[in-house]
Structure 1
Amino acid sequence: MGEIPVTFNVTLSYFIEPGAGEVGWKDKYRYGSYGLRFDVNNIGEEEEFKKRFNKAAREEDEEINTNAGAGRWVVGKDNRSNGSVHSDFWKGTAADLSTCHYIAVYPVVGWWRERKHLGKVETPTRYTLIISLDTPDQEIELYTTVKNPVEIPIEINAR
C-alpha cells in the first residue's frame, strides 16, 4: 500500500474500582484503583520501545525518553488519559504504519499502591483494546491479512 494515507485509531477501555469513601479531588491516585495507558512503537523502534515499559529490559541507570513519538498523536498522551476510556489516532502512510509492530498496554498507579493490605495488586484486570484503520477506498484485502494472525492466541505473562 506504500504511500496510501491511513488513519490509525486506538481505543482502550477498562473497569476501575473506585476507592470507597474517597472524594478523589485532592489526589489523582485516590479515586481509581489503577489506571491503564497505551502506546505504539515508533518507526524503527523496537528495543527502545520495550525499555520504555519494562524496567527489567533497561540497564541500571539507563535514561529513557517516555514521550518518544508522542507528537504524532492527534489528541496526545496527556489529553487522552482522563477517565477509563482512552482514544487517540494518528494519520500517516501505510508504509509508516507497517513499521508499528507493538502496542503496549501498561498500568499506572491508583489507590491499590497505598492499600497493599487489600491485595489488589494480584487482581486480574479487565480491559478492551480496539484498533481500527481507515483508508481511502482501495481494492486491497486488509481484513483477511489482519484477521489470520489475530486469531492466533497470545498468552501474556505480566509477572
Structure 2
Amino acid sequence: MRQGTKPPTARGMHLHLLPWPQQELLNLGSIEVEMRVTLSYFVEPNPGIAERGIKGRYRYESHGLRFDVSRPNEDRDQFRQRINKRARDEEEGRYQGGGSDPNWLLGTQTLSRGSLHSDIWRGTAAELAGRGMLGIYPALGWWKTLVKQQRYDDTVRYSLVVSIKTQQTDVDLYAAVETLIEAQTVVLV
C-alpha cells in the first residue's frame, strides 16, 4: 500500500516466470493439459468489527491478493499493463468482471473471496506453452480505510503452487520442469 495525502492505494506486483518445459509442451501440440494454480495467504480480521457493526466493501479482510497468467503472445510489458489496469479498476470499484480467459474452470469472479484461491486452466499443451508468466497483485481491504492503523506498508507473504499435468504418459513433464528449476537463477521484478 502507499500513503500520501489521499487514502492509501495498492502497490507492488510479483511477476513469476514459470519454468515451463516449453519444447515438451509444443511437442505435445493438441494434447489436453491442465494447469492448477493455488494461491494462499493470511488475512487479519478488521479490529473491532463486531462492536462497530461495519458494513461495506472492506469490512473483514485486511487485504487481498489476486493472480493472473499471461496470455499467448503477451510480452512482459503487455501482461503488466493488463494486470495494473485490472488492479486499478478493482481498487476504484470499476471492475465488473469478465475479460478473463474462458479456459479457467472458475474464472476471476470467485478469486475475490477468501484467502485461498485455486483454479484450473484446461487447454492444449501448445496453448499452455505460450503462458509462461504468472502475476500476483494486491487487492485492498481494511488497510485502506483504517489509515490510523498504519498497516498500508506491511509486507504480505503468500504461498503459490502451480502444477501441470496431462494424460499423455510418454512425456515426463516433471523431469523437464525439475531441470529448468535447477538451472534457473532468481529473477527479481
TM value normalised by structure 2: 0.69
User: What aligned pairs does 1:1-159 form with structure 2 within 5 A after superposition?
Assistant: 1-23=28-50, 26-46=55-75, 47-54=77-84, 67-151=98-182, 152=184, 154=186, 156=188
* Aligned residue type for 1:51: Q
CA RMSD of aligned residues (A): 2.3
Structure 1 unaligned blocks of 5 or more: 56-65
Relative to structure 2, which stretch is displaced further, 127-136 or 113-122?
113-122
Where 2:178 maps in the other structure, the secondary structure is helix
In 2, Cα distance between equivalents of 1:77 and 1:3: 25
Relative to structure 1, is the Cα distance of residues 117 and 72 closer, same or farther in structure 2, using a 3 angstrom cutoff? same
In 2, Cα distance between equivalents of 1:31 and 1:155: 34
Where 1:19 maps in the other structure, the secondary structure is coil
* Aligned residue type for 1:84: S
Q: Comparing both structures, which one devotes a greater share of its residues to helix?
A: 2
In 2, Cα distance between equivalents of 1:68 and 1:93: 20
Structure 2 unaligned blocks of 5 or more: 1-27, 86-96
Deviation beyond 6 Å, 4+ runs, structure 1: none
Relative to structure 2, which stretch is displaced further, 94-103 or 36-45?
36-45
